[in-house]
Structure 1
Amino acid sequence: NVDTGMGLERTNCILQGKTSVYLTEVFEPIIKTIENLSSYKYGDDSEKDKSVRIIADHSRSAVFILGDQKGVTPSNVGAGYVLRRLIRRAVRHGMKLGIEKDFLAVIAESVIENFKIAYPELENNKKKIFSELTAEENKFRDTLKKGEAEFQKLLPNLMKNPKKEISGKIAFRLYDTFGFPLELTEELGAENGFTVDKEGFKEAEKKHQDASKTLDAGAAKGGLAEQSDVTTKYHTATHLLQQALVNVLGDQVAQKGSNINNERMRFDFTFERPMTKEEIQKVEDIVNEQIQKDLPVTMSVMSLDAAKKDGARALFSNKYGESVKVYTIGSAENWFSKEVCGGPHVQHTLQIGKFEIQKEQSSSAGVRRIRAVISGGLPLDKE
């Protein structure tokens, strides 16, 4: 057995006397679909041909990943990030070909039709495949347009740089402000004769993370700028808010920071898109429902490992010692929220008062921010 690294597709290509795997029946239906969507005939222009091949290859790969039983979906970690990069690169090259409407689900249908006999799971999971591709495409189109527009604004000044290098600071700003991935900045740069300072990008990212850790240290104590009965109520409300967000949006939600004073609360959390009006209302309703139930708020001390095993959300775990405080909202058997926390809390939820979300907006790439206020409520118990 000699491993030539040729692969089945290349072997098939040679046996058919084709000059490229993209001319075989494996890719031909997919490329025909791309031609119909873009009104471009494959083979007429080498640069556009490259975009067609990228769309065909990446779309097919994305369909197979989404159709797999492991349940991988686009995200910012692990296999989910590989999938996200494939989809987003395909979207960009679709836009380069002039495809302005959503197209990945259309191509996915062609892929599934071509492979469903050998891979029946693709047909079985096609609703999920179409849904995930369309959602990710919609999410990224706006990001891509804004990021590319900003890049074009920067281009005249970049051209003055004799090193033909995009600084790490600029690359990170495109990522942090516009959600523009580093690899796409690299691709855009390469198309214009630039390299990207990756080390500088890492340094800028680390500075940003260090600044976030400073915020996190305060957030571990409840994000309190000042402490009073009002801020104590606000802080307990952040526990209810976080769990309500998880209930409505899913487990991808995690607290990134909070800031509380006597006038309002601000809560930052991981989530990739703006919340809908319906989602915002649902979260607000859940928080107020828990307040009206007048749930008890209790504290216990245990090890961090024990807290996690008990289901507590452990934020900023690297800041804690051997023992941690765990605050439970609700009964021991049927609790609503359980968190490792060092901040002050009310004794029962009716003390909080009415909770109202005033605004939901972007904080940074992949992070959303909620601004909320409370009113009324019962006085706190005095020890």
Structure 2
Amino acid sequence: MRSAEIRRRFLAHFEANGHTVVPSAPLPFDDPNLLFINAGMVQFVPYFIGQQAAPWQRATSVQKCIRTQDIEEVGKTTRHGTFFQMNGNFSFGDYFKEEAITLAWELSTKSQDDGGFGLDPERIWATVYLDDDEAIDIWHRVIGLPLERIVRRGKADNFWSMGIPGPCGPCSELYYDRGPDYGEPGGPEVDEDRYMEFWNLVFMQNERGAGSDKENYPILGELPAKNIDTGMGMERMAALLQGVDNLYEIDETKPVLDRAAQLTGKKYGEHSGHAASQSHPDDVRLRVVADHIRTALMLIGDGVTPSNEGRGYVLRRILRRAIRSMRLLGWEAESLPELFPVARDCMAPSYPELATNFERIAMIAYSEEQTFRRTLASGTSIFEGAVADVQRSGSPKLPGSDAFKLHDTYGFPIDLTLEMAAEQGLSVDTEGFHRLMTEQRERAKADSKANKAAHGNSPAYRQLRDLGETVFIGYTDLSTETAVRGIVADGQLVNRAQTGQVVEVVLDETPFYAESGGQIADEGTITSDGATLRVLDVQKPVKGLIVHRVEVADGEIGAGTVVRAQVDPEWRRSARQAHSGTHVVHAALREVLGPTALQSGSYNKPGYLRLDFAWGQALNDTTRRDIEEVSNRALREDLPVSVEYMPLQRARELGALALFGENYDTEVRVVTIGGPWSRELCGGTHVDHSSQVGALTVVGESSVGAGVRRVEAFVGLDALRYLANERALVNAVSETLKVPPSEVPDRVAALVERLRVVEKELERNRVQAVLAGAGQLAAQAQSVNGVQVVAVDAPKGVSGNDLRTLALDVRGRLDAAAPAVVVLTSETDGKVSFVAAVNPAGQQSGLSAGDLVKVFAPVLGARGGGKADLAQGAGGDAAKIVEALAAVLRAVAGSPARAE
């Protein structure tokens, strides 16, 4: 049974039993504590912890999930993967243990002909929490499971909580006996390879307090409403129903692994009698490729793009681990174009949008591979420098700090460092490397834990939200008389705030737009008879609650005070222009470049907008002008701007565009400009007609990551001011050059060409002047231990190449029959260049330019190297040039070159 069919049957079963089918939330979920959704219940957390009332009593979903805490461990076993799907059913104060157990048992054991999974009921085991006699009774009395196949387990295994104070409860897990080929008999406590867990039923019935770890915390009592949260692992069920060993062999993963093996000439599992239990390096790398390609496909599909921070950095690491694994398997060509289409075909039956958007997904992925191939080239250069330092020191081992820096700063993989170090006859201090990696992980975990605790302990927001949603009237009104619901200072509810304080204020209703959807918050004032508050920012820390960060300009404000909230009208007018302008530019991009130029992010404030979109190359001047022309034509046509509220599915049917990574409610707001020309899901503020945007001028286009470009533009008065400044600049240049504005480009081009000719002539004259001094420098030669030595600091400003030419010229002017050494330095802008040259007679006597540079460079604190006849370097402290030259003279004096 294919995974897509497992998904369909799961949702159909629970929908038939009164559950609302809820779409998977995007992987990059809007939560300050999570990079990605990592469990099926994440999007339902506000309902479980009481922040919001659930819109349904029963729900079911198949949630895309990613766990990234131990990416480096992926592939070492067959049990762990990065991307997975969690099939879940949820009850919010409706049914509880008996129905949850019954529903899971029915779907698991019902025949496939009748729409179930057809698992053999005689091979299913259940685990329960130690003292959960109620669950044991249901399993035995209601389901008929023999007591010998019901196992009591402790808190670590069978008691669930979020890790912070809040809801918790016992679990009951379902295991399937895969038979003696997989391990010993005796149930899950004996062997969890033979007995595979496939479903976890969480009975959310208690409230826990703070504790030190997963097992040590107090149970404060029972919840007023008991909830159900279950998770059935899609990949595990697929493995059971497809008769394969593990997630790497199911229909959504194995074809990618097979293609990687085919390309590299490897055979998966050939090094062991049982592929599921072996860990030969080739098999580990094939599993890494299979897992990471699928994960990257899903991440890019949900709008994540590679970058050096946050979610984008995780994606970059995953892609680069896959690429590097292919390289270590022997594949040197680009690998993603060979693998991504296979992953698309595997996943599209469940997620058809992957096929629809594949051109955009591929563009981003393939661009990242090209970037990484360049990184490997530059990282190799840095690696070689580190190796040279180690070899000079005589150590056989590359320090862990160097390996960590290559990995962390330059994206250079540790296993590639190990491979290349071995080629140089060196080992790597892997213990030091892993210690630094562990320290980095611990810092990240500490930060995450701190954030999690802070978010979990925000009772002020929850208390205010419990009083009801903040009513937003800002779509139609810019001012209102309302009451102060509460004041928050340093995370705590307070009664009053005085002049000079910066606090957060919650109103019963507000005209202020809270920052979201790329649009920044409104500015304005909140006033009462005794106080004036300047609004600095507006946010939604909890869904349904709008919080105003304010500075008390004068007076005193208290909870319950009646106030007037007033948005700055000019601010809002310009903000509306910018947000509608963003939609116009997005539509223009799609008209000019095609439907794959989809927005991946935006930012707009009064008079200014920027829009990030999927595209693999820079836009030329003609394309930029076309985008600007299409945008302004839409403004001139005075297209109507309309807003409608409709079900999400209806919006999708109409072709409304959604921002990747956003999680939308079942009822959405659709903003349309000119009918189907621009139709997007959006909660922002907009003009009524496109002409109200005013003028629009594109002022910038740049890259913000692999396969992602950014367009910037001004709108309205800001666009006119920008054009006025440009006109003033052109007029000033025109007057300076004494030509009409239309002739300015040609005149500037002519001047630039003349400047190039003059610069070349000056360069020739300068080189000739430097070389003309070669005779004078040769005349300064001194005899040291029978060697002709010129060791001087040349005039400032001589470049490295010119210094090399000068040193060779000086060497050529010395007596060729006698050993000769030339060491020259020159300082340019505080930086030192240096060259050493030794003639053939000197080399025959045992002198080496490379050895002399190794004497010279460390004194400066610089690096350098070369061969016996010529060596050079740069860097270091210019104040130590004299000391370094003296060190060279001492080295020559102490050499046995010409003792006679």
Whichever structure has more helix as a proportion of its residues is 1
TM-score, normalisation: structure 1: 0.49
Rg larger in structure: 2
The structure where strand makes up a greater share of residues is: 2
